């Protein structure tokens, strides 16, 4: 299983989940995985270390314990600062990151530097991208797919599509550059 969404702000997502009311670590993990079915499931360890940091930073606090027949569990709730932090974060515009560290970009540059074959690399990369886009399309169009999954698939599809457009432009540029070089050599 490949997850569509990989890096997300666990800290802010936990704050968001706590905004619904006090909760313990196990419950937060379960609700996280439910809300983001296309993300990598949270590890318990990560939930607990994140909760401890939220308490340290004054964004959450211990609200007592909850036994519920089983072992005692620590309940956490949002502080006022925590509630504000969650709302502020969700309202912030995400920096439109120029993904200049993108691996595909780096590989094309290295291929050019090493006199490799960037064009055939781009063709192979395109095929891999298309394969993944087909999987995502099948996933999102399957009957009964949850809205969260459809949205995650749309997000991934649009980003892969952007990669493809960059790859097409790059291929065209490389062809033009080669043509220009050949012309210059002839002159």
Partner 1 sequence: MSNRPEPLVVARDLVKAHGRTPALRGAGLDLGAGEIVAVTGPSGSGKSTLLHCLAGIASPDEGSVTYAGERVDTLPERRLSELRRTEFGVVFQFGQLIPELTALDNVALPLMLAGTARGAAQERAADWLERFGAGEQRGLRPGELSGGQAQRVALARALVTGPRVVLADEPTGALDSLASEQVMAALVRTARETGAAVLVVTHDAQVAAYADREVRLQDGVTQDGVTAGLEVHA
Dihedral sign computed on CA atoms, order 89, 33, 132, 155: negative
Among 164, 166, 170, 174, binds partner 1 (CB under 8 A): 164
Determine if 139 is a binding residue for partner 1 (CB under 8 A).
Answer: no
Determine if 141 is a binding residue for partner 1 (CB under 8 A).
Answer: yes
Determine if 158 is a binding residue for partner 1 (CB under 8 A).
Answer: yes
Alpha-carbon distance of 177 to 160, in angstroms, equals 25
Token couple for 156: 């991934």
Q: How far is residue 170 from each of residues 121, 128, 130, 133, 164, measured CA to CA in Å?
A: 12, 17, 17, 20, 10
CB atoms within 10 A of CB 28: 22
Determine if 134 is a binding residue for partner 1 (CB under 8 A).
Answer: yes
Determine if 4 is a binding residue for partner 1 (CB under 8 A).
Answer: no
Determine if 176 is a binding residue for partner 1 (CB under 8 A).
Answer: no
* Contact window for partner 1 (CB under 8 A) among 3-11, 28-36, 74-82, 155-163: 155-163
Which chain residues interact with partner 1 by CB under 8 A?
Answer: 120, 123-124, 126-131, 133-134, 136-137, 141, 157-158, 160-161, 164-165, 168, 172
């Amino acid at each position: 299983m490949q997850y569509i969404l990989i890096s997300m702000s666990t800290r802010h997502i936990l704050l968001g989940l706590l905004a619904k009311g006090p909760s313990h670590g196990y419950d937060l993990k379960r609700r996280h995985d439910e809300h983001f079915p296309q993300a990598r499931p949270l590890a318990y360890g990560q939930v607990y270390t994140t909760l401890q940091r939220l308490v340290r930073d004054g964004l959450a606090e211990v609200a007592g314990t909850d036994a519920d027949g089983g072992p005692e569990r620590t309940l956490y709730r949002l502080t006022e600062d925590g509630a504000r932090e969650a709302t502020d974060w969700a309202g912030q515009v995400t920096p439109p990151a120029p993904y200049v560290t993108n691996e595909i970009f780096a590989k094309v540059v290295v291929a050019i530097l090493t006199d490799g074959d960037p064009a055939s690399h781009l063709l192979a990369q395109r095929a891999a991208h298309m394969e993944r886009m087909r999987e995502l399309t099948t996933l999102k169009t399957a009957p009964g797919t949850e809205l969260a999954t459809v949205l995650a698939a749309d997000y991934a599809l649009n980003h892969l599509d952007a990669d493809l457009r960059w790859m097409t432009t790059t291929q065209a540029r490389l062809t033009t550059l080669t043509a220009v070089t050949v012309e210059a050599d002839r002159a």
